[in-house]
Amino acid sequence: MRYLGIDYGTKKTGLAISDEAGTMGFPKEIVPTNAMLLEYLLALIKKEKIGAIVMGESRSLSGTENPVAVYARALSKELAQHSQLPVFFESETFTTQEARRLPTGERALTHKQVDAAAAALILTSYLSHHDNN
């Protein structure tokens, strides 16, 4: 089963998709966070034959939900309702910083690549400690 990983942000949203076996996430793309986001995600879910969604869970360092989390939860509810797929949450603490440190060869990741890489880290983290069969 393929999973969709989402690193939601107020301006842009990073996306990742797992391999068919659901063992590892790979950066897919970054899309604008706008009124078309839900429609875009639903089309991607259908096109890629996604079976479940993993959203980054945004929290402050003290463990409380931050303002971004409110919007991410609202999106997750809409995705679950319209796609009829389960939505799981995985901590996204420090994933953007970790993505910036990923080895990339000679050049640094662009902002777009960082957000998609962060989504892949969130997805891979979730997949690594859940039974996906």
In the chain, domain spans: 2-128
On the question of pLDDT at 10 being above 70, the answer is yes
> Domain 2-128 in CATH: superfamily?
YqgF/RNase H-like domain (3.30.420.140)
End-to-end, the C-alpha distance of the chain in Å comes to 8
For residue 30, what is the enclosing H or E element?
Answer: strand 25-32
Closest by alpha carbon to 73, among 60, 57, 62? 57
Residue whose entry in the numeric block shows the structure tokens 């990741």: 109
Structure tokens at 112: 């777009």
Q: What is the reported pLDDT for 106?
A: 46
**pLDDT tens digits, one per residue of 84-114:** 999 999 887 545 555 445 444 444 555 557 6
Distances from the Cα of 70 to the Cαs of 59, 66, 103, 128, in angstroms?
A: 10, 7, 32, 26
Q: What is the reported pLDDT for 95?
A: 52
Q: What is the reported pLDDT for 112?
A: 52
**pLDDT tens digits, one per residue of 18-60:** 999 999 999 999 999 999 999 999 999 999 999 999 999 876 6
Residue 95, class by beta-carbon neighbours within 10 Å (0-12 exposed, 13-18 middle, 19+ buried)?
buried
Q: What is the reported pLDDT for 105?
A: 46
Higher pLDDT, 28 or 61: 28
Cα gap 129→125, rounded to integer Å: 7
Write down the pTM of the prediction: 0.84
Give me the mean pLDDT over the 3-21 stretch. 94
Contact (Cβ atoms closer than 8 angstroms) between residue 28 and residue 116? yes
